Amino acid sequence: MKPEFHQPGIPDDVRTKLSFITDKWHYLHIQDSKRVSSRISVNTLYSIDDVSVSKIIALLKGGAMVQIPTRSKAYVLPNGLYTKLQMRQMCKLLGYSITEDVSKADFIIGNDQCFQRGDVNGQAPSNLIIGDIKVVEWPVNTEPHVLQQYLPIENVKADEKVCISRYAYNLTVTPSLDSKVINVLPNKTVHILYQILSRKLPVINEGMLSDRMERVVLDEDMYTSLVTMLSSTPSDVKIASEIIFNCDHVKSIYYMYLLAPYYRKVQGQMSHKNIELINKKINWRDLDMDNESCIDHFYLKGYLTEEIYDKFLDRIISNCFHDLTSYRYANEFVRYDVLPRLSYTEYLDSKTPVRNKTTTNNQSDDESPF
C-alpha cells in the first residue's frame, strides 16, 4: 500500500498563536474501509484538551444575529442543516453573499453539527471537531522500516508526533502498541479558528439567520391548495413540499398539524437535513394525534392561541355532529345541539394550578393581626 499525502499543515506562526493546540500529529489512516488494499493516506491533525473541545463547539455553533452590513461576505461552515443552494438563496434575500475563502469573509455562519465523536473505521475525519478518536501513537524509533513506507521520517520534526488509526494499524503491522483516545482538529478547522479569533469575526448560528427571513404563514386557502397539490402529480408534490419547508412553521402550526398525514409524502421530496430541520422546530411526527389530544399538546408546547383553540373546537363539534346525525331517522325526530364545554379562557383556567389562600379572622391581607 503506497502512501498518499494531504495537507502539509498550518504555518508554525499560526500554530503558536493558538494556545489551545497541544500537539501536531501526522495521522495515518485508511482511504476506504471497504477495501483492504486501500491506500494509506497521511493528514495533519492538531490535538486539543477536553475543555477546549466544549469551547470550540460553542464558538463554531454560533450565537444570536448581530448587525451585519449588507453586501457582507459570509463563510458557511460545513455539515449544516441547509443545503448550499438554500443558504445562498437565504443570504441573497438578506443582502449578503457567500465566499469559499474564509480569509475574505466578514462573518461566519455556524451550525450545531460541527462535532463528531470518533472516526469511521479509521478513515480521515470528516468534521470540524473530532472527539475521542482512537489512535495508536507510533514513535519514530518503533519499527522505523515499516513507518518509512507510509511517511518520510525525515519530515517529522522533533516537536511533532505520529499516530495511526487503530483500524489502519491492525491492517499494516502486527499490533504491539496500545491505543489512546485524543481530540483533534483538522487543518481546515485551525485555519477557520485563526481567522475568527485574529480578526474577531462574528459567528451566527444558521437557525438565527433563518429566523430573520420573512416566511409565508399558511392559511385556510393555502392549506386547501396544498392538499390538492399533494394528491396530484409528482411535480406538484415537489412544489408543495418546498412551500411547506419555506413557510413559518411555528406560526403555521395549526395547518402543519392538518398536513401531518402527508408527512411521508413530503419527506420523500425533501433532503434528510431539511426533514431534520423541520422536526427540530416542531417535531412534525408528534402531530399525528386527534383534535382533543392536540389541544393539550399545543398548550404544553406554547402554540395554543384563542384562534387555534376555536378552530379545534369547530373540528370537534363538526365531527360530533356528524356522528350524531349519522343515525337512521335522527334528523326526522331529534334535533341535536353540540356546544363547547369550555371556552378558551376557561380551558386556560382549568390548566392553571389553584392557589389556596389561607386567611384567618384575626389577620388582614397584609398579614397584619391588626
Write the pLDDT tens digit of every residue in 110-165. 999 999 887 655 566 778 998 988 888 877 777 777 777 777 777 788 778 888 87
Say yes or no: 67 and 178 in one domain. yes
Say yes or no: 34 and 170 in one domain. yes
Q: Look at residue 2 in the predicted model and tell me its pLDDT.
A: 42
Q: What spatial distance separates the first Cα and last Cα of the chain, rounded to whole Å?
A: 95
Burial class (CB in 10 A: 0-12, 13-18, 19+), 169: buried
- Angle (nearest 5°) at CA 102 between 76 and 68: 65
Domain annotation covers residue 190: yes
Which of 288, 317, 342 corresponds to the end of one domain? 288
The domain containing residue 174 runs over which residues? 3-208
Say yes or no: 171 and 230 in one domain. no
> Please, which residues have CB within 8 angstroms of residue 131's CB and are 6 or more apart in sequence?
53, 115, 116, 117, 118, 183
State the cell numbers at 69: 452590513
Say yes or no: 119 and 180 in one domain. yes
Say yes or no: 225 and 203 in one domain. no
Grid cell 453539527 — which residue? 113
Instruction: Please say whether the beta carbons of 8 and 151 come within 8 A.
Output: no
For the chain, the average pLDDT equals: 80
Say yes or no: 63 and 120 in one domain. yes
Burial class (CB in 10 A: 0-12, 13-18, 19+), 99: middle
pLDDT digits (tens, 9 = 90+) for 235-282: 898 888 888 888 888 889 899 888 888 888 888 887 777 777 777 777
Domain annotation covers residue 359: no
Whole-structure pTM value: 0.66
Which of 180, 208, 236 corresponds to the end of one domain? 208
- Read off the amino acid at residue 180: K
Q: Look at residue 332 in the predicted model and tell me its pLDDT.
A: 64
Domain annotation covers residue 358: no
The pLDDT confidence band at residue 358, using thresholds 50, 70 and 90, is: very low
**Most confidently modeled of 51-60, 273-282, 338-347?**
51-60
Distances (CA, A) of 238 to 15, 41, 82, 235, 267: 48, 42, 17, 5, 10
Say yes or no: 137 and 253 in one domain. no
Domain annotation covers residue 298: no
Integer Cα distance of 89 and 98 in angstroms: 10
* Range with lowest mean pLDDT among 85-99, 108-122, 244-258, 314-328: 314-328
Domain annotation covers residue 368: no
Say yes or no: 78 and 159 in one domain. yes
Say yes or no: 156 and 8 in one domain. yes
Between 238 and 322, residue with greater pLDDT: 238
Say yes or no: 119 and 252 in one domain. no
Mean pLDDT of 85-93: 86
Domain annotation covers residue 297: no
Domain annotation covers residue 178: yes
Other beta carbons within 10 Å of 335? 7
Say yes or no: 181 and 254 in one domain. no
Grid cell 398548550 — which residue? 299
Domain annotation covers residue 276: yes
Say yes or no: 271 and 133 in one domain. no
Which of 262, 288, 314 corresponds to the end of one domain? 288
Mean pLDDT of 279-290: 71
Number of structural domains the chain divides into: 3
Q: Look at residue 367 in the predicted model and tell me its pLDDT.
A: 44
